[in-house]
Amino acid sequence: MKIWADKNAGPGRAYRTFRLLPIRSLAPMTASTDTVSPSRRLALRHLERVARDDAFVGKLSANDADARTRRQARELVAGVTRQRRWLDFVLADAYNGDYDAMEARLRHILRLGLYELEFQSTPTRAVVHEYVELAKQTLRQGAANLANGVLRALDRRDALPQPDTGDRAEDLAVRHSHPTWLVRRWLDRFGPEETVELLEWNNRRPAHHVRVNPLRTTRAEVERWLDEREIVYTRSPHLDTSLRLKRLQPLLQGGLLDEGRVAVQDESAGLVVRLVDAQPGETVLDGCAAPGGKTLAMAAGMEGEGRLLAIDSHEGRLARVQDSAEAHGVADLVETEAADLRAVADRPDPPQADRVLLDVPCSGLGVLAKRADLRWQRDPSDLDDLAALQDDLLDAAARLVRPGGLLVYSTCTIAPEENEQRVDRFLARHVDFTVESAEEFVPKDMVSPSGFLATRPHRHRMDGAFAARLRHVTS
């Protein structure tokens, strides 16, 4: 038996028991014997990897599958992962047995089938046939019979069951497939109507934002390229170098990303870069630089003049920053160093910068639409652990800002413990720093009463982000 601690379950369901049953590995995809679509088979394989190895939902690879198959499988995996709690609620209601004790592979197959029935326009007959066949091929005939019965029973229902525990947070969390602790926090902070908007936003298929690199092309040239291929896009209402698209694949296939003409970057990240406002000729330091999106954007704004030191503790990810700098035409400006920022600040003669960007590791609660798996990987204790790290990094970054210089602290979370509270604690420890309002640099409706940049996904149609301008004042 395996005991699993369910952090997202309600009262009385803190632990669930699963029986581990022997299962056959997925059979090879062969056109002569396999009647299941390759994308569905690949989706099942990756869902098992996500559950077993905490694999990243968005990083799906398969040497024996073409790009279209991988794309379809990725959409299935992301959708099932987002809607997992709701799917399990519906399936448990339809299953005449202990759903929690069902073997993991069969649960994955049923989730995939129900997801297609409810969230995609796939014909019922095709869905039922393929997932019943997948259960037969990868488990046994009995599992296929069970899958057939459950999926057909759900399809015959006029309406699906709705959670009704009497606890509004619990019911919303189940219906919108989020952890209860998160929903409870958002209800207290935003109220019911805005919380539902945020939950619905997190469950949408995310749009893509790209930044046009002015050192390689112009927005007009990129728009002409998109128009010629009839690719739908819209301009950002906030940044004149950003475009919004539903699909990135054409840009990948067309080489625009590899050639450095555009870069994938959410508008919220672009607003953080605007808040830094790096100028030509300055010394700028990016303290947690990888994967490098903000580094490249700041370097482009410096027009090839000055010095930009990109520091990150992850050597492998930092190497990709240097490669991207070459593609984007800023290699002469960007210097990379694989090091912990705290160790850099502890040196006898640490570097001194005019501007320091500190985009800290955080819970990522502002990017749940793009990171389908992240909602299930966080719990409240993570915020305390991250806050301690963020404080350490802030103290280190402060020692790298020259007198009169600027420190910009940023996150991709909407949790006050990682945002406003960290800045308040920092200012209490560092009386030689003061807050400068973000109002001059970003839209006013994104500026908090304290002068911080604070984007909200459901309000601003971009990632949730936070940033504060902190000036190192001289006596």
Six token digits for residue 138: 């990868």
What distance in Å separates the CA atoms of residue 467 and residue 352, rounded to the nearest whole number?
21
User: In whole angstroms, how large is the CA radius of gyration of the chain?
Assistant: 24
Q: What is the separation of C-alpha 246 from the centre of its chain, rounded to a whole number of angstroms?
A: 16
What distance in Å separates the CA atoms of residue 433 and residue 399, rounded to the nearest whole number?
11
Q: What is the DSSP letter of 413?
A: -
Question: CB neighbours of 284 closer than 8 A, spacing ≥ 6?
Answer: 276, 278, 298, 302, 306, 307, 308, 309, 353, 354, 355, 356, 357
Q: Are the CB atoms for 176 and 200 separated by under 8 Å?
A: yes
What distance in Å separates the CA atoms of residue 219 and residue 222, rounded to the nearest whole number?
5
Is omega for the bond preceding 291 within 30 degrees of 0, making it cis? Answer: yes
Query: 426 exposed, middle or buried (CB, 10 Å; 0-12, 13-18, 19+)?
Result: buried
Question: 334-338 and 307-312 as β-strands: parallel, antiparallel, unpaired?
Answer: parallel
412 part of the active site = yes
Q: How far apart are the first and last CA of the chain?
A: 65
Which of 423, 426, 425 has its CA nearest to residue 448?
423
Residue 288 DSSP SS3 = coil
Six token digits for residue 166: 């009497």
Find the length of the chain. 475
Candidate list 284, 412, 446, 453, residue with the active-site label: 412
What distance in Å separates the CA atoms of residue 228 and residue 262, rounded to the nearest whole number?
17
Residue 222 DSSP SS3 = helix
Report the catalytic residues.
412
